[in-house]
Amino acid sequence: MARQIILLIEPEATLCELLLLCLRKLGDWTVFPAASMGAGWDWLMVQQPDVIVLDVATSEEDSRRFIDDLSHNLATASIPVVLLVSHATWLSAGHSDQVVGMIAKPFNPVTLPIEMASLLGWPLICDLSPPPPNLEAGTG
């Protein structure tokens, strides 16, 4: 099975690095970062990801417009979107069928791939369950 492709739109460099690490290493997915919605849109005109992960913290109005533009473009209308949110009061019910879910910030980096896989119905290749307890510790 081909690896899932994610377009990650995250303007904050440190958070982008953390998300890249989590999604690439723990989720075993191919992730392409974009530092802005404009850069993400340019990438979308050339590539088709399986999902777009969009941080809406910087500009809620621009995020709304970006999602509307996605839904009105035949090339991007079927791409699901997962929002990274601090708060999501602006997203009204039925705003966009493309938004398949939201992940609240702060998020747990270890469980992020589990949340993503659950939202998208993707299999998780890596086993993220905790290791069994060391039964030899404390004996003696």
What percent of the chain stands above pLDDT 70?
A: 81
List, in sequence order, every beta strand (DSSP E) within 14-108.
30-34, 51-55, 81-85, 99-104
Tell me the Cα Rg of the chain: 17
**Would you state the pLDDT for residue 59?**
75
pLDDT (average), residues 98-120: 92
Domain ranges (residues) in the chain: 5-120
**Would you state the pLDDT for residue 58?**
66
**Would you state the pLDDT for residue 71?**
94
Q: CA 39 to CA 61: how far, in whole Å?
A: 17
Of 35-39, 43-47, 62-66, where does mean pLDDT reach its minimum? 62-66
Q: Is the peptide bond before 123 cis (omega within 30 degrees of 0)?
A: no
**Would you state the pLDDT for residue 118?**
94
Decide if 45 contacts 76 (C-beta within 8 A): no
Neighbours of 56 (CB within 10 A): 26
pLDDT tens digits for range 1-20: 578 999 999 999 999 999 99
pLDDT (average), residues 32-58: 94
Does 3.40.50.2300 match the CATH number of domain 5-120?
A: yes
Mean pLDDT score of the chain, rounded to an integer?
Answer: 87
In this prediction, residue 97 has a pLDDT band, given cuts at 50, 70 and 90, of confident
Decide if 30 contacts 4 (C-beta within 8 A): yes
Neighbours of 102 (CB within 10 A): 17
pLDDT (average), residues 52-78: 90
In this prediction, residue 93 has a pLDDT band, given cuts at 50, 70 and 90, of very low
